[in-house]
Chains A and B, each alone.
Chain A
């Protein structure tokens, strides 16, 4: 680990999609008009496919190294050096990021190819692919970043692309509002993330190890211990800040509200961004910083509790949804909850394992639903579907495989990864039977609502109108082929991480240098098997109920809907009224504050300014009066007095010499008399 291998090709994994985005973004409109959509498709897909090739090469290179030396770095250029802060643009591949780039470029590549079919008739074809490539670039930047600040760039970048693609069809304000909601809710998370970065940076800086590089943070994480801020241990506070960021990006309570609305975007976007890759960024971040999170048991408890609560809450909402994509959206939130549950019991590898398997089956489910929507002419309401299996066999079979996988049917990917999480939730030192119980209940709910979806969409009578029915068709090869590949992944991906009782866990071993060893103490193989059987039983029960309600229709869903006077049904159906609450408190509150600010400006500050002006005018007016009447009055009075006395005295000045002489004589006589009388 001390001397990582320098390379100069990792940068291309990140840069190629950026080049694709730039080409299509700047020239796409012209190219599409003059040359054709095929060129746009090549510009968009080739970089991702090549990036997958490079990622695979990097993976093989890592694999050839000793486990503790599995570390490649590509230093590109110095970026931000101010004071003790020094952050470079450099990319690194270690076992954890290797898994992520394979998922992002692999599944991302398939979704790009699928999209060339799905989006084929869209006027803004070029714009779609420019953003899809920009997203891939940002996601790879997030994953490969060797420091927290560089990761943050990718983190916000994926948010931007998510915003732009949710609102892709911007003519409709339903879409643009969903985009705004996604961005702003994520900004709340980003607020936490960035504060977490600051806190870690300065705490390490105070200990003489200023750094934001993950490797350095991991190495020096112990220095965070014993430090306090605001009476809280720094490790706890920092990880809580970071976790707030994770709840935004990964749609956990309290910031999950944007993800269901994000389904307004084109379906490949839902598959790539809102199921397979971006929404897992929070899990990845926690895994990346596991050394810090492990120092904060309080935070881990919060993470586990929030994960479990989200898994349960979202699963209950999914029970009642009728929009084919909304069911999948809540299912995604719920599955992400599982991943956080794993992270919260310090079973990071189990979380990442579920992240990977989930990427396969959920991407397949979304793309399958996209195929259905495509065939149904844009219809998303499952109540108007049904019986589609005979019209679209490829879509049906791949969808079914993925449903089996997510429902936790033994032998498929979802079973292994979910079971690993449940086992860890039960047996880990941070775990508890309660967390396990919530997980198992969710597994049952998941099996139920996924099979409900399967039955409503593909089985029974087709409930579409005549016109739609006539146009029902299987999607083109370019769409079904990616489905098939993903379905294979949904089966096979589980076998690289078998439970300890069955065999070697390659996946866990692969991640061990980064995430530490799992809990291999083998509490009891019998216990593990027993718990496994319970979760299989619960899943089977869920499937059975769905079968009776939506296939056989011998059991009416109303029986459950009207439980407790329908309170639960209404709560689930209205999503616990959280949207309404947030709208009122946060959006309404901000607007209220804004209005207060403007009121202060116009009435108080400008009131004072204008008041001062008016006062000045008034004072000048008074001043004028004073000038006119008092000062000028006095001046005039003096003038008048002078004039008057002048008039009086004028009479004295007669101009006659005799008169003057008499006056002088008289005065002299008077003076002499006075002199004589008083001098003596």
Chain B
């Protein structure tokens, strides 16, 4: 069992999908509980994995490697290291929680849970895949159910949102596929094996191609840089980095609560994960050359721009969506610093953002289910009616604000600290984000929770047990990581140190 732990974690949900499809659609509760049953094993295995994972080993662990399509040298190759373990755990946890958050889905229950479980497999697969071909399969596998989950179970403008999401992502996928093929055909013998490609990494050409406009930019735009950029655009759409971010607010607003949680909690991380997993070790020179502009400066811009856009939103969910744009900026910025603090902070921020934003979307979902709107101005004084809900919402909001003692603070301060050494000016700009964030979040707290209670919602029922059950585990993680960050940081350190060592020699 233990040597196939990752396979089980990845494909249990797929088995769940088959089970769900075999059930009669007339029994929605049976379908729901079956989905629960099939997401519990990955969660339990995840806990086991957390304990069994050797944090001092920077390399890959729990690997499984078997030939799959030998003609093209394609393998079934999976494993985890410090870069992916936190994401694997996050995926297992959020998938489990989101089944409960989906309890209220009444339309097409069977289809919904089947697609959800398929999505689950796709997500897990992306984080464990070590073969490029396999990675791409999982990447696309996840796209399809997402499209339908937004497009069928979404809000009024679901079709626009779903198509926008699909096209944006597909555009990125195409560029990514081209880059993957380029790397495949330059390798000798041709291989999709990421570990092999990484070993060849340093040898990719950086000789200028002499193509306009690249040669006129006074940058060393070689093969490596072109491939880097193609991969980057594919990943940047997922992050989402400015200017590829406008699918996110639409998708979030239209998606059902649980899908928003998955979208923000896990899908966005695939962008930055991909960059760390692929761009960094495989194309180290290009990374060293391009990180400042495409990750550092753009990340800073994301922080400020996302926060400003969030401030202008009237829709609660859209506000949270834009806050994600802002918070993912910290990840980009931290990655670009190549300091231990910055890069550890970036990966920790990915984990923290998953839990915190998960809570924020669940929080919006609670009142949306009751009031059937998300207009910030349309609420008011909920604290008097729903004190428990207000308390747990406050926890999520203050964590998002980076309040010390909660997890968001640790990662933000590590990112900013790490960045200061390399780019003090960027850090000063990025740090203004903490002021803007406090501004839009407190303003929201004031309008939604404080003040006189809106007459319409005087009798709004308090948060129920199921909803509490979805938020409390995340809240506990937020506090634990804030007080004792070692629980996560220890997992990441060794692998990230090694990754950093790959890039540092290439820095000018």
Within the complex, what minimum Cβ distance (angstroms) separates B324 from chain A? Answer: 14
- The answer to whether B417 touches A85 (Cβ under 8 A) is yes
Contact between B434 and A195 (Cβ–Cβ < 8 Å)?
A: no
| Stretch of B49-57, B125-133, B370-378, B425-433 with 4 or more beta carbons under 8 angstroms from chain A | B425-433
**Residues of A with C-beta under 8 A to B308:** 590, 593-594, 596-597
A149 an interface residue at 8 Å Cβ cutoff?
yes
> Smallest CB-CB separation from B313: which chain A residue?
A598
Compute how far the CA of A224 lies from the CA of B403 in the bound complex, rounded to whole angstroms: 29
A619 close to chain B: CB less than 8 A: no
A79 and B450 contact, CB distance less than 8 A:
no
Nearest A residue to B451 via CB reads: A173
**Which of B405, B428, B446 sits near A153, CB closer than 8 Å?**
B405
Chain B residue with Cβ nearest A198: B420
Stretch at the interface among A185-193, A400-408, A462-470, A621-629: A185-193
Task: Determine whether A77 belongs to the interface, using a CB cutoff of 8 Å to chain B.
Answer: yes
Bound-complex Cα distance A163 to B439 (A):
13
What residue of chain B has the Cβ atom nearest to residue A83's Cβ?
Answer: B340
Kindly state the separation between the CA atoms of A593 and B433 in the bound complex, as whole angstroms: 13
Query: Are A199 and B420 in contact, CB atoms less than 8 angstroms apart?
Result: yes
Q: Give the CA-CA distance A357 to B86 in the complex, in Å.
A: 52
- Say which residue of B243, B311, B435, B442 sits within 8 Å of A591 (CB atoms): B311
Q: Does A459 contact B (CB under 8 A)?
A: no
User: Which A residues touch B414, using CB under 8 A?
Assistant: 80, 82, 85
Residues of A within 8 A of B381 (CB): 170-171
B 150-179 binary contact with A (CB < 8 Å = 1; else 0): 000000000000001001100000000000
Interface residue tally on B, bucketed by range: 35 or more
Residue of B nearest to A241 (CB): B428
B259 touches A (CB below 8 Å): no
With the chains together, A598 CA to B443 CA distance in Å?
18
The verdict on A229 contacting chain B, using a C-beta distance below 8 Å, is yes
Residues of B near A198 (CB, < 8 A) are 416-417, 420, 424, 427
Contact check, B413 vs A194: say whether CB atoms are below 8 A apart: yes
A414 at the interface (CB under 8 A from B): no
When C-beta atoms are compared, the residue in chain A nearest to B243 turns out to be A605
Inside 8 A of B387's CB, which chain A residues have their CB?
29
Q: Is the pair A191, B417 in contact by a Cβ cutoff of 8 Å? A: no
Given A80-B410, A191-B435, A156 contacting B451 (CB threshold 8 A) = no
For A25, give the chain B residue with the smallest CB separation: B391
- Cα distance, A222 to B88, chains bound together (Å): 47
A590 to B410, CA, bound (A): 26
A385 within 8 A of B: no
Closest to A188 in B: B435
In the bound complex, CA of A173 to CA of B339 (Å)? 44
Q: Are B442 and A184 in contact (CB under 8 A)?
A: yes
**In the assembled complex, which residues on chain B have CB atoms less than 8 Å from the CB atom of A595?**
312
Which residues of chain B come closer than 8 Å to A380, judged between CB atoms?
none
A601 touches B (CB below 8 Å): yes
Select which of B305, B424, B486 is within 8 A of A78 by beta carbon.
B486
Residue of A whose beta carbon sits closest to that of B312: A594
A152 in contact (CB, < 8 A): yes
B438 in contact (CB, < 8 A) = yes
**Complex Cα spacing A81 to B313, Å:** 38
Inter-chain contact B435/A176, CB cutoff 8 Å: no
Min CB gap B457→A, angstroms: 14
Is B309 a contact of A601 with CB atoms below 8 Å?
Answer: yes
In the assembled complex, the Cα of A596 lies from the Cα of B383 at a distance in Å of 32
State which of A80, A81, A156, A180 has its C-beta within 8 Å of the C-beta of B403: A156
Q: Choose among B339, B398, B409, B450 the residue that contacts A83 (Cβ–Cβ < 8 A).
A: B339
**Interface status of B344 (Cβ within 8 A of chain A):** yes
Q: Is the CB of A171 within 8 A of B421?
A: no
Whether A106 is near chain B, meaning CB under 8 Å from some CB there, is no
Min C-beta distance of B139 to chain A, whole Å: 21
Q: Determine how close the nearest CB of chain A comes to the CB of B430; give it in whole angstroms.
A: 10
Residues of chain A within 8 A (CB-CB) of B446 are 173, 176-177, 180
Give A225-253 interface residues, CB cut-off 8 Å to B.
229-230
A160 touches B398 (CB 8 A): yes
How far is A613 from B160 in the complex, measured between Cα atoms in Å?
Answer: 11
| Interface flags, A600-642, vs B, CB<8A=1, else 0 | 0100011001000100000000000000000000000000000
How far apart are the CA atoms of A596 and B309 in the complex, in Å?
8
Contact residues in A for B413 (Cβ distance below 8 Å): 149, 194
Distance between A676 CB and nearest chain B CB, rounded to angstroms: 66
Q: Which residues of A contact B473 (CB under 8 A)?
A: none
A-B contact count (CB 8 A): 139
Q: Given A82-B489, A176-B446, verify A591-B312 contact (CB < 8 Å).
A: yes
- Whether a CB of chain B sits under 8 angstroms from the CB of A510 is no
Chain A positions 137-158 with a Cβ under 8 Å from a chain B Cβ: 149, 152-153, 155-157
A residues less than 8 Å from B345 (CB atoms): 82
B209 at the interface (CB under 8 A from A): no
Interface residues of A in 97-119 (CB under 8 A from B): none
Nearest CB of chain A from residue B410's CB, rounded to whole Å:
7
How far, in whole Å, are A448 and B310 apart by their CA atoms in the complex?
A: 48
Judging by beta carbons under 8 Å apart, are A597 and B312 in contact?
yes
Contacts of B384 in A (CB 8 A): 171
B493 at interface (Cβ–Cβ under 8 A)? Answer: yes
Smallest beta-carbon distance B481→chain A, Å: 11
> Do A79 and B416 have beta carbons less than 8 Å apart?
no
**Chain A: CB-nearest residue to B433:** A191
The answer, among A77, A79, A149, A183, for a CB contact under 8 Å with B442, is A183
Which of A187, A202, A605 interacts with B438 by CB under 8 Å? A187
Q: Which of B403, B404, B450 counts the most A-chain CB atoms under 10 A from its CB? A: B404
In contact, A590 and B436 (Cβ under 8 angstroms): yes
Q: Which residue of A lies closest to B404 (CB)?
A: A153
Does A361 make an interface contact (CB < 8 A)?
no
B72 proximal to A (CB < 8 A):
no
A265 within 8 A of partner (CB): no
Q: Is the Cβ of A597 less than 8 Å from the Cβ of B305?
A: yes
Q: How far is it, in angstroms, between the C-alpha of A188 and the C-alpha of B245 when the chains are bound?
A: 28
A160 (CB) vs chain B CBs: closest residue:
B403
Interface string of B77-105 (1 = CB under 8 A from A): 00000000000000000000000000000
A444 partner residues in chain B, CB cutoff 8 A:
none
B246 at the interface (CB under 8 A from A): yes
Decide if B417 touches A201 in the complex (CB within 8 Å). yes
Q: Is A268 an interface residue (CB 8 A)?
A: no
Closest approach, in angstroms, between the C-beta of B443 and any C-beta of chain A?
7
CB distance from B412 to the nearest CB of A (A): 9
In the assembled complex, B484 has its CB within 8 A of some CB on chain A? yes
Question: Which residues of B306-335 have CB atoms within 8 Å of chain A's CB atoms?
Answer: 308-313
Chain B nearest CB: distance from A607 CB in Å?
10
Q: Is there a chain B Cβ closer than 8 Å to A167's Cβ?
A: yes
Neighbour of A167 across the interface among B420, B424, B450, B486, CB < 8 A: B450
What residues of chain A lie closer than 8 Å to B410, measured between beta carbons? 80
Chain A residues positioned under 8 Å from B41 (CB to CB): none
Q: In the bound complex, do residue B341 and residue A191 qualify as a contact, i.e. CB atoms below 8 Å apart?
A: no
Please, which residues of chain A bring their CB within 8 A of the CB of B341?
Answer: 82-83, 85
Name the distance in Å between B383's Cβ and chain A's nearest Cβ. Answer: 6
In the bound complex, do residue A152 and residue B404 qualify as a contact, i.e. CB atoms below 8 Å apart? yes
17 residue pairs of the A-B complex, CB under 8 angstroms, read A82-B344, A84-B340, A153-B405, A163-B442, A170-B451, A171-B381, A177-B446, A184-B439, A191-B432, A195-B420, A197-B417, A199-B420, A594-B310, A597-B312, A601-B245, A606-B246, A609-B247
Which 10 residue pairs spanning A and B have beta carbons closest together? A83-B340, A153-B404, A594-B312, A594-B311, A198-B420, A170-B450, A597-B308, A597-B309, A176-B450, A594-B308
Having A184-B435, A190-B434, A598-B309, one finds 6 other A-B pairs with CB under 8 Å, namely A153-B405, A157-B404, A171-B450, A598-B312, A601-B309, A605-B246
Which A positions have Cβ atoms within 8 angstroms of B? 29, 77-85, 149, 152-153, 155-157, 160, 163, 167, 170-173, 176-177, 179-180, 183-184, 187-188, 190-191, 194-195, 197-199, 201-202, 205, 229-230, 590-591, 593-598, 601, 605-606, 609, 613
B residues touching A (Cβ–Cβ < 8 Å)?
164, 167-168, 243, 245-247, 249, 305, 308-313, 339-341, 344-345, 381, 383-384, 387, 398, 403-405, 409-410, 413-414, 416-418, 420-421, 424, 427-428, 431-432, 434-436, 438-439, 442-443, 446, 449-453, 484-486, 489, 493
